[in-house]
Amino acid sequence: MSSRDTEPQSIVSGEVPSRSPSRLGRLSARFGRRAVTALIGLTIAFLLVPVLFTFAASFFENLTGILPSGGLTLQNWKLALGVAESQGAQRGLGGFWTFVAPDVLFVLTLPNGVEYVLRVPYDVTIQTPIPVALGFSVLLALLGVVVNLIVGVPIAYAVTRYTFPGRRLVNTFAILPIVPGIILGIAFLKTYPDLPSVVALVLGYSLLKIPYMVLAVQSSFESMDLRRIEESARSLGASWTTTFVRVIVPGAKQGIISGSIISWTLAAAEFNFSYIVYSRGPRPFSLFLFENISNNPFLRAAAAISIYFVIVAAVTALLNWVGENGFSVGGVQ
């Protein structure tokens, strides 16, 4: 080892680093690659193992010791989905839509005072095992995506295609989630007091998830020669509107689809904002997840979360099919 190894080496001073590798350098040459690869494996295990374990455990009857035990069962899933009625009043994902048929269907009063009453012979209760919250959240998130499309595609095009004063600032505000969900929730509390929770949630979701849409669509636009495409279409006689709707937008199909999928999933799972803002009406899915996590036995909570894992897995498969690496487009928050 030369004596220069111990001296501070700085890139600023332009000093040339020692030529003969130190012990650390030799070690890194020997094991560095293996260590980093192992670190990647460890990271993926840290992220993935609890998910797989939760999913697997949700099908078992007991969980004591390291591994789940007892027979396989679907009971946890049924309880979480609200298909099976549990003891007590607790219900899974919003439980049932209950429809009680009216007792008296029809009353006919004749002029002489005689009444004919048509009665239902027995009480009819129709219980539809629909996970209301899940359906509701799917819808809420979908509305958010619609707003994101209307807002996100034009703004992404404007900042990619045109130069105008304030373009950089607009771009930053469009792709940076400026307001954290919980702060926006507090801000919403008194601003729109008469707005139903549904509208407030959709408005909030659209604002919180717009960066993902803009980022995805922008990356599509950036791979296109927008000016040339626009000029060709225009010179062939298409109006600007026609060009935008029938040439530009279809060209950015991949970004639009992956942006929609990502902002949909993130809106469906948005918790911080929903938790503060929600007051009445049907509940968003994330609040039921929270209720399951904080109140229910482990395995039932595992089943409730696994419902969401199934959605994420499906969405990830869809994203990969579209040509993305899962959620890697949504790298910013």
Check residue 237 for interaction with other proteins (CB under 8 A): no
Check residue 131 for interaction with other proteins (CB under 8 A): no
Question: Contacts with other proteins in 6-35 (CB under 8 A)?
Answer: 11, 17, 19, 21, 24-26, 28-29, 32-33
How near is the Cβ of 85 to other proteins at its closest, in Å? 25
Contact residues for 256 (Cβ-Cβ < 8 A; gap 6+): 149, 153, 216, 217, 220, 249
Would you say 24 or 74 has its CB closer to other proteins?
Answer: 24
Please report, for residues 51, 226, 323, the alpha-carbon distance to residue 220 in angstroms, rounded to integers and kept in the order given.
32, 10, 12
Would you say 96 or 330 has its CB closer to other proteins?
Answer: 330
How near is the Cβ of 255 to other proteins at its closest, in Å? 14
Q: Which of 74, 117, 126, 189 touches other proteins (CB under 8 A)?
A: 189
Asked whether 203 and 191 are in contact (CB, 8 A), the reply is no
Would you say 59 or 96 has its CB closer to other proteins?
Answer: 59
Q: Which stretch binds other proteins (CB under 8 A): 84-92, 113-121, 132-140, 174-182?
A: 174-182
Question: Contacts with other proteins in 71-130 (CB under 8 A)?
Answer: none
Would you say 35 or 124 has its CB closer to other proteins?
Answer: 35
Read off the DSSP letter of residue 280. S
295 conformational bin, left if phi > 0, alpha if psi -120 to 50, beta if neither? alpha
Binding mask 244-273 for other proteins (x = CB under 8 A): ------------------x--xx--xxxx-
Cα-Cα end-to-end distance for the chain: 46
Read off the DSSP letter of residue 266. H
Would you say 96 or 212 has its CB closer to other proteins?
Answer: 212
Q: Which of 179, 198, 229, 318 touches other proteins (CB under 8 A)?
A: 179
Check residue 289 for interaction with other proteins (CB under 8 A): yes
Alpha-carbon span 189 to 281, nearest angstrom: 16
Q: Which of 92, 95, 131, 204 touches other proteins (CB under 8 A)?
A: 204
> Which residue from 152, 260, 136 is spatially nearest to 198, judged by alpha carbons?
136
Check residue 184 for interaction with other proteins (CB under 8 A): yes
Q: Which of 13, 87, 98, 191 touches other proteins (CB under 8 A)?
A: 191
Check residue 50 for interaction with other proteins (CB under 8 A): yes
Question: For residue 257, how many C-alpha atoms fall within 13 Å in the half-sphere facing its CB?
Answer: 15
How near is the Cβ of 104 to other proteins at its closest, in Å? 44
Question: Contacts with other proteins in 290-329 (CB under 8 A)?
Answer: 290, 293-294, 298, 301-302, 305, 308, 312, 315-316, 320, 325-328
DSSP string, 205-253: HHHHHHHHHHHHHHHHHHTS-HHHHHHHHHHTT--HHHHIIIIIHHHTH
Neighbours of 79 (CB within 10 A): 24
How near is the Cβ of 285 to other proteins at its closest, in Å? 10
CA quadruple 196, 202, 208, 210: dihedral positive or negative? negative
Would you say 129 or 171 has its CB closer to other proteins?
Answer: 171
Three-state DSSP class for residue 62: strand
Alpha-carbon span 188 to 196, nearest angstrom: 12
